């Protein structure tokens, strides 16, 4: 029933809906690839996309993996190892433990780092296995909770501690490397509008940083990518302090990001096409000074969530009308009859717009949000619209806590009901699933539209 299944030229059933019996089952994916005689596997940006064991298994079959090597994925997927590598390549890191720690070491390590701090899973990502600790009394419970979620999502309960930055922004740099040692950046994205440590709105360029900070940040990202021998598309994530002057390495995502369309909108570069070309052994077709950033782009993720609480909703889409027009792109899984299921990460669509500047992009996104008609499922569209109208967002004075500041406990909900709803939300977000949603555009049409816009 899924839209990508309906649109595909060929499909192979790999198992039942439960991810661990299908999309997370390496042998099932490889069996499907062999059945259709595939010569390459593109992992998208969920499930096995950052699984080094999967990459090794793919390479052993002789099939090309569209992404970096298993060694690089293993190095950067281990957050402790990634911190060490960042330091080795002169990329600033947030004060924290030098390695994964056990419970007996935690109290002393936390006292040395200082509060508030973050408990983080050493293996994994996607905002899972992270807990905020404001004082020593919260530490033990936070560690237990983080370990439990990390074990469930990533099969590893290793954790480390890191100081929490107040009023920080989440800014990331898109990098692209080939198999010939060339690495470039495609500028930065501000991904600070988040809920439950997962992104809701992303924009490029980041309006908070100076040209000098941008140059330092992008240079640091390229330096790290070159240092680890990175090839294909990847993202180096940073935390920007409240003064917007200092940045610190957060992690590296060794895959295509959900928000890659906004980079494509401002550069005119098709990242997915280049991923395939790089995997085939081609060199990058441009040098750093040939890459230009034009205008501004913003992406909004459309989720089945109550806009007053960000808690999950369910239902079946009865009526659907999606935005369209110049400088508007919709990557969507939606269709009439689409049903929100508990097995997968609930991202339903991504709405991406481009404008000549940030103000124009914000206005265009507001207009496009107003063109959406989705009946049968309650979505977060009203909340996204509220964020775009908020002064802290329009003035680029927001940080990662913006949504938490906007929302309070739902009116009329009892304590038990609210806790149950939060538990459901965490359970849904803890499922390691792909955020990749099938889109309605074809590569040629998308490329042509970019050329038209930038010419």
Structure tokens at 296: 């501004």
* Active-site residue, selected from the candidate residues 255, 329, 358, 364: 255
State the alpha helices, DSSP H only, in 62-102. 70-77, 79-88
Query: Treating both helix axes as pointing N-terminal to C-terminal, what angle do 139-154 and 103-113 enclose, rounded to 10 degrees?
Result: 120
Residue 395 CB coordination number (10 Å): 9
Q: How far apart are CA 380 and CA 310, in angstroms?
A: 7
Catalytic, 446? Answer: no
Q: How far apart are CA 29 and CA 15, in angstroms?
A: 9
Classify residue 397 by burial, with Cβ atoms within 10 Å: 0-12, 13-18, 19+.
middle
Question: For residue 350, what is the DSSP state?
Answer: E
Q: 165: Cβ–Cβ under 8 A, 6 or more apart, which residues?
A: 94, 239, 241, 242, 248
Tell me the CA distances in angstroms from 245 to 87, 203, 398, 437, one per residue in order.
19, 19, 15, 35
Question: For residue 118, what is the DSSP state?
Answer: E
Query: Treating both helix axes as pointing N-terminal to C-terminal, what angle do 211-227 and 79-88 enclose, rounded to 10 degrees?
Result: 110
Residue-by-residue DSSP string for 196-221: TTEEEEEEES-TTS-HHHHHHHHHHH
Assess contact for 321 and 335: CB atoms under 8 A: no
Q: 3: Cβ–Cβ under 8 A, 6 or more apart, which residues?
A: 332, 333, 334, 335, 338, 438
Give catalytic residue positions. Answer: 255
């Amino acid at each position: 029933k899924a839209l990508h299944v309906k649109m595909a030229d060929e499909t192979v059933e790999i198992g039942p809906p439960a991810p661990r019996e299908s999309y997370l089952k390496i042998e099932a994916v490889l069996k499907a690839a062999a059945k259709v005689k595939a010569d390459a596997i593109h992992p998208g940006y969920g499930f096995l996309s950052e699984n080094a064991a999967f990459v090794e298994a793919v390479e052993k079959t002789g099939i090309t993996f569209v992404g970096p090597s298993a060694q690089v994925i293993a190095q950067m997927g281990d957050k402790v190892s990634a911190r060490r590598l960042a330091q080795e390549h002169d990329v600033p890191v947030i004060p924290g433990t030098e390695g994964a720690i056990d419970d007996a070491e935690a109290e002393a390590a936390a006292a040395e780092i200082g509060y508030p701090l973050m408990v983080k899973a050493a293996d994994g990502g996607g905002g899972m296995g992270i807990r905020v600790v404001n004082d020593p009394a919260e530490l033990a419970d936070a560690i237990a909770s983080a370990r439990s979620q990390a074990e469930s999502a990533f099969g590893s309960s290793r954790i480390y501690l890191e100081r929490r930055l107040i009023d920080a922004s989440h800014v990331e740099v898109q990098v692209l490397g080939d198999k010939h040692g060339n690495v470039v950046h495609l500028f930065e994205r501000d991904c600070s509008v988040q809920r439950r440590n997962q992104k809701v709105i992303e924009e490029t360029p980041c309006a908070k940083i100076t040209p000098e900070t941008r140059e330092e940040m992008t240079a640091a990202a390229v330096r790290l990518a070159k240092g680890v021998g990175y090839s294909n598309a990847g993202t180096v994530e940073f935390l920007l302090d409240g003064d917007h002057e200092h940045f610190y390495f957060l992690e590296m995502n060794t895959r295509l990001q959900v928000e890659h369309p906004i980079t494509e909108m401002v550069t005119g570069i098709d990242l997915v096409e280049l991923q395939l070309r790089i995997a085939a052994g081609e060199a990058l077709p441009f040098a750093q000074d040939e890459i230009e950033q034009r205008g501004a782009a913003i992406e909004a993720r459309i989720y089945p969530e109550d806009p007053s609480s960000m808690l999950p909703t369910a239902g079946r889409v009865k009526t659907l009308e999606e935005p369209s027009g110049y400088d508007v792109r919709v990557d969507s899984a939606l269709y009439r009859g689409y049903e929100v299921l508990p097995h997968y990460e609930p991202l339903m669509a991504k709405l991406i717009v481009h404008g000549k500047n940030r103000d124009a992009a914000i206005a265009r996104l507001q207009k496009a949000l107003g063109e959406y008609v989705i009946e049968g499922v309650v979505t977060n569209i009203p909340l996204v619209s509220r964020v775009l109208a908020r002064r802290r967002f329009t003035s680029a004075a927001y940080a990662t806590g913006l949504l938490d500041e906007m929302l309070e406990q739902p009116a009329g909900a009892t304590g038990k009901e609210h806790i149950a709803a939060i538990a459901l939300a965490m359970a849904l977000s803890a499922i390691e699933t792909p955020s990749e949603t099938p889109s309605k555009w074809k590569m040629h049409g998308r490329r042509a539209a970019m050329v038209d816009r930038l010419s």
